[in-house]
Structure 1
Amino acid sequence: MGQHVHAGALDIWTEQVGDGPDVLLIGGLGDTVESWQFQLEGLADRYRLTAFDNRGAGRTTLPDDALTVEAMADDAAEVLLALGIGSAHVAGFSGGSIIAQELALRHPEVVRSLVLQSTWSAMDPYLRAWGEFVRWLVGAAPGEREFLEWFFLFIYTPRAHNDGTVAGIVDEALAFPHKQPPENVQRHLDAFIGHDTTGRLPRVTAPTYVLAGGLDTTARPELGRAVADLIPGARFQVLEEESHQPFQEVPEQWNGLVDSFWQGVESQDSRSSG
């Protein structure tokens, strides 16, 4: 069961499961704790996992002041503080990976490692144009179903569309009682479109694993590779047959990859402390 925790000036919705080393999961554009369902279920036997709704998504309200990636990164740090977690392995996807980058830069002491799925340091003209298109689509689509069906064309593989996976995700989203208002989606997009960590990523000290989908036409592999090249010692891997969200489409494979990475970090930490 989830709960609100008082984190900074906000009451942020969180869900925590499992037992073991701490993991913090950060969702992308408008995504809630439910987006991490396969990780909360599949990794809880090895880790204590915490997921939360970003400000302006799901059950966490959006203040009237300016929405920035920096503010969302500070929220993530405040969630850890509120739950008494000194540091955690941090994983984020898409916009959540940008928040994770900023968290590692602003609060390095709370980040034991970074997993960045479908990431970038700054939007290139192509990705920026896609972001502006989504911003327009939020208001232009005739209904929520149409928006989701069209938006998901860029997010999931043709395989997931053809085998009914995406239809199921759409139905679940339509039934979800805590919907994000269109204007909140647009404010989130504005924050991500304008954000740039390029010149600061060499300051990241946490062990980092960057993953990209070979079929992702938005956060394309070359953008993820550029992030990995900027972070000292970062690992980079392309899942050739996957798109933007392999942690949902092939969760067992994705969970296995990040589990192996986290176990490596744990072993290194144990050797260093010994």
Structure 2
Amino acid sequence: MGAYVEANGTTIWTESRGEGPGVLLIAGLSDPAEAWQAQLDGLSDRHRVIAFDNRGSGRAPLPDGPMSVAMMADDAAELLRAFQIDRAHVVGFSGGSAIAQELALRHPAAVRSLVLMSTWARADAYFTGMTRFWRWLVAQAPDERAMLEAFFLWIYTPRAHADGTVERFIQETLAFPYPQSAQAFQRQLEAFMPHDALDRLPGITAPTLVLAGERDIATPPRFGRTVADAIPGARFEILAGEAHQPFQESPDVFNARVGDFWREVEDGMLPN
């Protein structure tokens, strides 16, 4: 069920499914709540799963002034309060994983557990150069299809390009009635790129699972390993054969691993 929610001084579109312990899904660059459709459907059998549009994605407006990861983390905390969820299992993907890190640091009481997919704690020169190209790409591509075809080379596996999965995602994006503007893409990117939580990650106290795609060229596994090494007790796992966005490419694999982790937390096998 979709609904607008007033949170942290803005209006945010949310999608909610199921009943049970609360789950908050935080999307990455450009993705609206609908990017999590396979999780909204597949993980809501025993959880209350909530996804939302980050500022500048989908139906959520850009702020008038500067936008930051800290601001979006506060948005997420306010959303949980609006849904009357005291503590949630939080899943953050890519740019959303930066938001999830900040949420766990700024609002630790709100985070029951943390899953960080395709994450990083501090950008290196390669990552910075790659995102500078993305900023140029969205403004200079001849049309939206051309931009997506180029951008998705960093996001999905060769398998997904060969079997028609990427073409399906492109068609869905082009048909989406709330397209993201080039300005919104750039401003989200500008908010994500200064993210640097490496020295603060030891302050995260929630049980944490860090997942990396073996074939991810945008946020390669070495980034995730650095994050996991910095968070006390965090687990680090590599998803064989996967790239940057496995929750879309291989949702059954992703959902099963995340669901198992939540069960461990809820059964008291991990401190929470």
Please report the TM-score for the alignment, with normalisation by the length of structure 1.
0.97
Contact kept, 8 Å, 2:265 with 2:271, in 1: the verdict is no
Task: Give the Cα separation in 1 of the matches to 2:93 and 2:167.
Answer: 21
Counterpart for residue 143 of structure 1: 143
Task: Give the Cα separation in 2 of the matches to 1:65 and 1:86.
Answer: 30
Counterpart for residue 165 of structure 1: 165
Does 2:50 match 1:50? yes
Shift of 1:117: 0.3
After superposition, give the CA deviation of every residue in 1:34-54 in whole Å (9 maximum; x if it has no partner): 100110111111111000000
Gaps of 5+ in 1: none
Task: Give the Cα separation in 2 of the matches to 1:249 and 1:63.
Answer: 32
Does 2:24 match 1:24? yes
Task: Give the Cα separation in 2 of the matches to 1:158 and 1:102.
Answer: 32
Does 2:244 match 1:235? no
Counterpart for residue 201 of structure 1: 201
Among all aligned residue pairs of Structure 1 and Structure 2, give the percentage whose two residues are the same amino acid: 58
Q: How many residues are matched?
A: 272
Counterpart for residue 131 of structure 2: 131
Alignment of 1:13-162 (within 5 A): 13-162=13-162
Does 2:181 match 1:181? yes
After superposition, give the CA deviation of every residue in 1:80-105 in whole Å (9 maximum; x if it has no partner): 01111111000011000000000000
Q: Give the letter for the 1:255 counterpart.
A: N
After superposition, give the CA deviation of every residue in 1:13-61 in whole Å (9 maximum; x if it has no partner): 0011011111000000011111001101111111110000001111111
Cα RMSD after superposing both structures: 1.2
Q: Give the letter for the 1:48 counterpart.
A: R
Shift of 1:240: 2.1
Task: Give the Cα separation in 2 of the matches to 1:139 and 1:33.
Answer: 24
Task: Give the Cα separation in 2 of the matches to 1:106 and 1:172.
Answer: 35
Shift of 1:171: 0.4
Where 2:267 maps in the other structure, the secondary structure is helix
Shift of 1:272: 7.2
Shift of 1:63: 1.3
Task: Give the Cα separation in 1 of the matches to 2:83 and 2:144.
Answer: 35
Counterpart for residue 244 of structure 2: 244
Shift of 1:259: 0.5
Does 2:207 match 1:222? no
Task: Give the Cα separation in 1 of the matches to 2:19 and 2:78.
Answer: 21
Task: Give the Cα separation in 1 of the matches to 2:196 and 2:72.
Answer: 14
Shift of 1:205: 0.3
Gaps of 5+ in 2: none
Q: Give the letter for the 2:17 counterpart.
A: V
Where 1:268 maps in the other structure, the secondary structure is coil
Q: Give the letter for the 2:136 counterpart.
A: W
Contact kept, 8 Å, 2:32 with 2:52, in 1: the verdict is yes
Shift of 1:180: 1.2
Contact kept, 8 Å, 2:28 with 2:93, in 1: the verdict is yes
Q: Give the letter for the 1:100 counterpart.
A: A
Where 2:89 maps in the other structure, the secondary structure is strand
Task: Give the Cα separation in 1 of the matches to 2:74 and 2:233.
Answer: 25
Q: Give the letter for the 1:39 counterpart.
A: Q
Task: Give the Cα separation in 1 of the matches to 2:184 and 2:197.
Answer: 23
Counterpart for residue 3 of structure 2: 3
Contact kept, 8 Å, 2:120 with 2:223, in 1: the verdict is yes
Task: Give the Cα separation in 2 of the matches to 1:190 and 1:8.
Answer: 20
Where 1:254 maps in the other structure, the secondary structure is helix
Task: Give the Cα separation in 2 of the matches to 1:56 and 1:193.
Answer: 15
Instruction: Classify 1:126/1:20 alpha carbon distance in 2 versus 1 (closer, same or farther; 3 Å).
Output: same
